[in-house]
Chains A and B, each alone.
Chain A
């Protein structure tokens, strides 16, 4: 028993154990509160989106923190996952009546399609570096948004029907799945908090397995020193592609979960600002820091809701929080005082 404990909290596994414990404890706590004291409607409505953004933050951390490439188009993958899932869920509404099964299938399809796009875009992306890479991901996000904005997809007794740019569909009965800038309407809300929780656990499992594997070490080596890693035989483009594709699969998964939590969803939701929002979570939590991402996402997603009493000033406060935190965490004088206090603390410890 002690052995297992020691192993779980060994230097290598500590972060992983803490992540899983944190998520599980939070889930149990929220479930208990929901079933005993009750929770306001506002907070209940935040649960699934928070789960989605945690997964998105984690997946972006894989690219930005662990692989070291700035991506500004993460919302694009989210959008692909989201609208694929909406279509699958809408199409299978009759054939698979079971909600959980349909959710699982939609999420699976969403992540696979997003992964395929991730692979396609990784070809041009990984030829570039630095800010040029960032701009290509930004461009990709914009392209996805404007393409989905023009897709009209529906099905009726004659089967699937598709139209691009202008809506020329004449459905006989049947149902519109995507209607251009209006996006998806009348989606059955089949996501729930438990599914979000399960998907977060899955994401954590994937990410930690990757980090602690041969490939993960190669990805981090390529990040820290590209040339040195290359010289010892690490295939840079292969490792970077791996990180990018896994990240896009996870983002698609989160997007699918997100989409099935709302009855209507417009492509405009997945714009540049959403990509930036996820990036803010990752940078706030600390690059490459998994637990930091989870906490930062939760706090920063709920913060604007908590600031609701400030009404119009809440986004202003949010902006000020962003700027001030960045100033504080990068302030040299603050770092010095922090170092001094820790030194004093350790010296005391040694004396005893």
Chain B
């Protein structure tokens, strides 16, 4: 311990001490000393991606599937700027990451040196925290602190910029004990008096709803278990945001499905008509609330969140409880049980919900010979659910159809870019998840446009023998863009057609993948079976009906009650205020 080590040695030793098993990265001039240390050891596995953005998404997929911190190592300049999309994605979706970036030596900082960029300046607003380490002696403590910040509180990405001379200079490294930070102290336990008040409100509610989100996934698998117990105790219906899918079983009779813009009719109507909303680890995102002044007008609202800035940001709540959602639910259950509460009579409420459910808002009608995208995802779900797959997605219509038609029963099985909406997320995220769970079935449900944004990662999967599956819902359009152009811009499909598509099967084969085409309902099941039968990576080009739209849908600027259930619903042209919304 007493001897001095180089910054690069300290980096690898600290990462080892922190339990890191996998790093996703790409070498370059400013990180060569760290790569040299990686070469000399075999405790940490380095996964060489083909583009730095993919390194970050892969680390996100690894983190989301495993609950561990994802680690990224990239070089200065373009290495760091390429990572920015992934870092921002992790910030929006609260994914714990530590991103190490190389930097030009300290004496060259500020001189516009080769491959220099202001990494801490660029990442200041897209990271939870960041550091420029100017002395080797500080490297060890900063690494340990960075992991503490990334994974505690509301998780997020932490960037550490390490100049090359700091990697080469020597200093002592001692493994620190428990990290206590002088200013950063996340509040885990909720205020007991508020929790008691929440329990009383819940026990008295006639039309309660539990509105759950990604915070429950972040809190760990125990939180999902506690949610199930809480739902059982209070008898309330449960809905989930896109990020929360899997925290409650999709097949549970109390589950109303996802809510929001493309959520179920029953979930959105129940949110609108409830008398008590209990928001558990969600943040009233605009995709969830629709028009704010019409959002759940009759309800009292309780909001449980570890991040105080989530309270009253867009929706005023009656009771805010700051704390880890798992810990708060545990305390809520204790209070509920110790007071011998039974749920109030909710029979009228459930009757109302049954009425909304009977509209079958995720239903779709098979017309003619076309293979419907919804059908393709439904069959994919039915044929794989016994294997408890991990599903990743890209961004667009296929993502929403996957959220609607693929059932999730456990946390950490659904990895999607929710907040930032990053096309190109799914394939690298699947690679990261597969590394965390080598024997799991990992499927990237993709679109033909999105998949091309990080298609180069086909090579990464082959290099590390990862049997990732890609299921492309190919409708030859950036489907969600086309859908909005149809609804808001007079069907003028400006630049949304996926022209000059590659032959995906040949592309797959060129990289050493198996390629399969599905082009009609008749070979859907065979195609899925063939995909599952192959032990290596498989890319499925599933050619679906070109003009299907994703319904139900709350048009932008509309209220939950103004949901469009199917293409047959009358939709007037959007006004300018609505058109200005995204």
Are A and B part of the same complex?
no
Query: B residues engaging A (CB < 8 A)?
Result: none
